[in-house]
Amino acid sequence: MPATIKTTHPPLEVQPVFTGDSAPLLRAPEKIQSIFAVTTAAACLPLMAGWLFFGYHAVIVSVVSVVSCVGLEWLYYRVTHSPALFGRAHAYLTGVLLALTLPPFTPWYVVALAAAFAILVGKAVFGGVGHFLWQPALVGRFAAAVILPALAQLAPVGETGKTVTLTPAQWPLLARDHLLLGDLDNVAQDRMYSYLGWSDRTAPPGAEGFALPHPADTLGPLTRGEEPAYSALAYPRTDAPNREPAVLTVLPPVGDFLFGARPGGVGETCAALILLAGLYLVYRNYVKWQLPFAFLASAALLAAVAPVRLAGPNQTIEWTWFPLFTEGLDVGFTYVCYQVLSGAMLLAAFFLATEMTSSPVTTGGQVIFGVGGGLIAMGLQLYFDTAIPAYLAVLAMNTLTPGIDALWLPRVFGQKHFAWLRRR
């Protein structure tokens, strides 16, 4: 064969050459590290509001949370000899998010334990960033929610201060003259159902803040018919004709809700800053607006239409549909706003449900995720006495995320509709 070749050159064939990098040779500047860093920075905004309203206890919670998350992640990767993914940027993010969700009076060892759950159970077991099923910070928060009531029961009766702060019925909040530096253990109890607003009151003598019922705990009995004398939308109808709806009297004013001067978790309360940070994330494209919008809109819709047990005439309690319209639109609107804002729904919608790994990939899937999460969160808040309805809803939808991803398949260019169904 080689003898028959008439030319002097060896036979040449057409064959591909390996070139190293493949197209495209230009890349967008965005990196995973920057996503985590910017999200962490955005999450620090509501955290700082928490520091303001809950004093150094909140700072301790945040620091313990972040330090133990980062330390545990470092330790885990050190022990298992697996590479530390993304320079532990995600551990910082998890730490900050966990701190946002925890009550400000959480003891440091509970915070550390929650961080251990978040990093080890929430993330490391699944194989790290990109693989976990549940939002790690919420895994930690769930663990804390299980641990905290148990601790409250274990607390000795004699130590009144500790017992008060661990009981979920009374949540501490610093008064406006003791912001940032006040001590949450030194608070005076406020009378239930007579909330006077935060902004025009100074601390009671000898105390640095108030012990208040959590707004969700105030709303709950009013809509579940557990207080026959009151209901969320009106006093009993046998009362005087010019009665005041309960939502306008026993709950904090709207201004307190917006700026965070109400009891709640460290980062749950300041609606204005959560919105600001969340919208910045939307602007940076790290969060698709559809998910938080679907979450909050479906929650508000359910609150507006779902039946609640309200006080009726003659000390009776009856199921009432469409609470939005029962007492006129203005009262109904306030009621719906309180239902949405009183828990941690805003934080869950903007920061926890939007975790990229544990939410669906497609926009349509994210809308399904958001609607489901909003409905579950509001349903739990309305009908079940749970401490963390919004977080439970997000965890439930996280569980469904692989299913949503597998079933929600938009039509691909050039394919027929439902091609994936037809060819199976």
Partner 1 sequence: MTRRYGIFTGGIDIPDEKQATLDEPIAPAWEAEVLRVPLAPCGGQAAEPVVEPGQDVQAGQRLAEAGPGGVDIFAPLAGTVRAVAPVTTAVGRQLLRMPAVELVDLSGPREIPTGPETFDWSSAQPEELRRRLDESQLTTLRRRPQPLGRWVRRAAKAGCEVLVVNAMESQPYVTADHRLLVEYGEEVMRGLAILARAIGAKRCVLAVDRRRTGDYDHLLAPAEHFEVEHVALPHKYPIGSDPILLKVLTRREVPCGGGPLDIGAAVIEPAGCLAAYFWVARKVRLNGRVVTISGEHVTRPANLFVPFGVDARSLLHSARPPYIMGGPMIGTLCEGDAVIGPATNVLLAIDPTPTGSPSQCIRCGWCRDHCPTRLNVAVLNDLYELARVESAELLGVLSCMECGVCSYVCPARLPLTRRMGELKHAIRRLRPGPAARDESLAHPHPETT
Q: Does 131 bind partner 1 (CB under 8 A)?
A: yes
State which H helix or E strand residue 253 sits in.
Answer: none
Q: Which of 363, 379, 383, 400 binds partner 1 (CB under 8 A)?
A: 363
- Specify the residue for token string 């545990």: 72
Q: Does 86 bind partner 1 (CB under 8 A)?
A: yes
Cα distance between residue 165 and residue 187, in whole Å: 9
In terms of CB distance, is 9 or 81 closer to partner 1? Answer: 9
**Cβ-contact 167, 222 below 8 angstroms:** no
**Cβ-contact 365, 353 below 8 angstroms:** no
Q: Name the 3-class secondary structure at 186.
A: coil
Stretch that binds partner 1, among 124-132, 214-222, 312-320, 327-335 (CB under 8 A): 124-132
Report the candidate in 386, 415, 81, 413 with the shortest Cα–Cα distance to residue 214.
386
In terms of CB distance, is 31 or 201 closer to partner 1? Answer: 31
Residue 120, CB half-sphere, CA atoms under 13 Å: how many?
A: 14
x-marked contacts with partner 1 along 343-362 as a string, rule CB under 8 A: -------------xx-xxxx
Stretch that binds partner 1, among 127-135, 152-160, 169-177, 303-311 (CB under 8 A): 127-135
Question: How near is the Cβ of 74 to partner 1 at its closest, in Å?
Answer: 18
Judge residue 396's burial from the number of C-beta atoms within 10 Å of its C-beta, 0-12 exposed, 13-18 middle, 19 or more buried: middle
Report the candidate in 375, 370, 305 with the shortest Cα–Cα distance to residue 336.
305
Cα distance between residue 314 and residue 174, in whole Å: 40
Q: Which of 1, 4, 19, 194 binds partner 1 (CB under 8 A)?
A: 19
Q: Which of 80, 81, 154, 413 binds partner 1 (CB under 8 A)?
A: 413
In terms of CB distance, is 85 or 271 closer to partner 1? Answer: 85
Q: Does 27 bind partner 1 (CB under 8 A)?
A: yes
- Specify the residue for token string 């320079």: 87
In terms of CB distance, is 193 or 289 closer to partner 1? Answer: 289
- Specify the residue for token string 């018919």: 225
Cα distance between residue 44 and residue 259, in whole Å: 15
Interface size with partner 1, residues (CB under 8 A): 52
Q: Which of 4, 13, 314, 329 binds partner 1 (CB under 8 A)?
A: 13
Cα distance between residue 275 and residue 25, in whole Å: 37
- Specify the residue for token string 């805003």: 346
User: Other CB atoms closer than 10 Å to residue 125's CB: what's the count?
Assistant: 13
Contacts of 146 (CB under 8 A, 6+ apart): none
Q: Which of 128, 252, 260, 323 binds partner 1 (CB under 8 A)?
A: 128
Question: How near is the Cβ of 412 to partner 1 at its closest, in Å?
Answer: 3
Q: Does 420 bind partner 1 (CB under 8 A)?
A: yes
Q: Which of 26, 150, 154, 181 binds partner 1 (CB under 8 A)?
A: 26
Question: How near is the Cβ of 37 to partner 1 at its closest, in Å?
Answer: 12
Question: How near is the Cβ of 350 to partner 1 at its closest, in Å?
Answer: 16
Binding footprint of partner 1 on the chain (CB under 8 A): 7-9, 12-17, 19-28, 30-32, 34-35, 85-86, 128-131, 285-286, 288, 356-357, 359-363, 405, 409-415, 419-420, 423-424
